[in-house]
Amino acid sequence: MALIKKPTTGMKDILPKEMEIRDYVTRLVKETYSSFGFTPIETPAVEHIENLLSKQGGENEKLIFKILKRGEKLQLSGETKEEDLADSGLRYDLTLPLSRYYACHAAELPMPFKALQIGPVWRADRPQKGRFRQFVQCDIDILGESTTLAEIELITATTTLLGKLDFSDFTVRINDRRILKAMAAYSGFAEEDYDSVFIILDKMDKIGVDGVRQDLIENGFSPECADRYLELFQGGLSDASAVTALADKLGDALPEGCAEGLVDIMTSAAKVKNADYNIVFDPTLVRGMSYYTGTIFEITMNEFGSSVAGGGRYDEMIGRFTGNKVCACGFSIGFERIITILMEQDRKNPAGKDKYAFLIEKGADPAFVADVMKQAQDLRNEGKTVLVSMMNKNKKYQKEQLEKEGYILDNVKEFYHSEFRK
């Protein structure tokens, strides 16, 4: 039986042209985030199944690739349940592993700790454009910082990175889970129904205000609650003044200092921004992960139909491991979505100007080849990239392929043995 050439469904092989862009973006990510004091770390791809199923990952917990117990640990019987078969699984994001990592190594780490993590994650999701079952996430997190400095730093670092990638006129949408809860309480919804209400609210951009109202009523909520709730969203996206106006309306339903903190984040981030973007208050922003406890944010851009970055504050997750509260806040760029946009734009790696290709006439004697390789080595010593290859019969096609791989044609040099002898 012939072996299967195609990769597993939802996963993909990466060709050199895309790999060139991925490497470039990864280098820029590390360079940019390191300039803000974030420290690279790495966690295992495999996590304990108890951690992965701890009811902190929302819908992602339904998408875990579980790993069977091995050897003597795997005891099969007619009454074996699914939970008896697996003791670990592939991580579905980088936040849960980071929380375990910090809980395990806190005594060896600075306080606060600024972490940078880039790595693959896995979800048994339905594949579609820009969504795979194996994909790379890129996270920055600040652990142990309770003030709004964490949010301001995360937003500034992430937008600076997007600016360096030549993205402009994008939007940072910001909200707070405490504001969401206060709006629901003000409208008369029971606390146990908040999650159901938020799931419906999260569809606002797709079904509109009328659709949300209809959905709320169809799910058993009173028209009075629905109408009072939706009145709070009149005006849509707005500046920091809208936060203050909403806080005045919500009154005691909103925790003290919540609105002031959000205003501080918005005004400070706008003051120090290092890229062309807008920051707006979006009261409809929900973010699906159940572990968020405060500020939440997303970045949207015209080049892509959905968000390209998102994150927020999750002050209770690390405490699930340690028993002690550790403030935490993180921002993740959609690495695969960024790469998709750059590939569609046929973006070239700026480092291509430092790439050279030396094509040597076939049949050249070893001494001639050695001299060409010496020239290549001299350029490499100057920090250039030099590919040395024999010249193909179809030289035009060979150059076209080199150009696709990021080589500038002016830097593709041809070496003929006869010319060398002259």
In the numeric block, the tokens 């734009």 are attached to 345
Out of 36-50, 94-108, 196-210, pick the least confident.
196-210
Q: Which residue has the higher pLDDT, 362 or 118?
A: 118
* DSSP 3-state of 115: strand
Cα distances from 418 to residues 43, 290, 372, 398, 410, in angstroms, run 56, 71, 13, 21, 22
- Please write the tens of the pLDDT for every residue from 349-408: 776 678 899 999 988 889 999 999 999 999 999 988 999 999 998 989 999 888 878 788
Mean pLDDT of the chain: 89
- Asked if pLDDT for residue 237 goes beyond 80, the answer is no
CA distance 138 to 140: 7
SS3 sequence, 307-323? Answer: EEEEEEECCCCCHHHHC
DSSP letter at 76 equals: -
The separation between CA 237 and the C-alpha centre of its own chain, rounded to angstroms, equals 23
- Asked if pLDDT for residue 77 goes beyond 80, the answer is no
C-beta contacts of 360-369 below 8 A and 24+ residues apart: 360/388, 360/389, 360/390, 360/391, 360/415, 361/390, 361/391, 361/414, 361/415, 361/416, 361/417, 361/418, 362/390, 362/391, 363/417, 364/415, 364/417, 364/420, 365/417, 368/415, 368/417, 368/420
pLDDT of residue 420: 47
pTM: 0.87
pLDDT of residue 57: 64
- The answer to whether residues 297 and 265 touch, using CB atoms and an 8 Å cutoff, is no
SS3 sequence, 239-303? Answer: CHHHHHHHHHHHHHHCCCCHHHHHHHHHHHHHHHCCCCEEEEECCCCCCCCCCCCCEEEEEECCC
Sheet order of strands, 39-40 included? 39-40, 113-122, 134-143, 328-333, 307-313, 295-300, 170-176, 277-281
- Please write the tens of the pLDDT for every residue from 304-339: 767 899 999 999 999 999 999 999 999 999 999 899
Query: Which residues share a beta bridge with 90?
Result: 46
Packed helices 149-164 and 16-35: angle between N→C axes, nearest 10 degrees: 140
Instruction: Taking residues 177-183, report their average pLDDT.
Output: 94
Cα distances from 32 to residues 35, 375, 403, in angstroms, run 5, 34, 28
- The answer to whether residues 91 and 45 touch, using CB atoms and an 8 Å cutoff, is yes
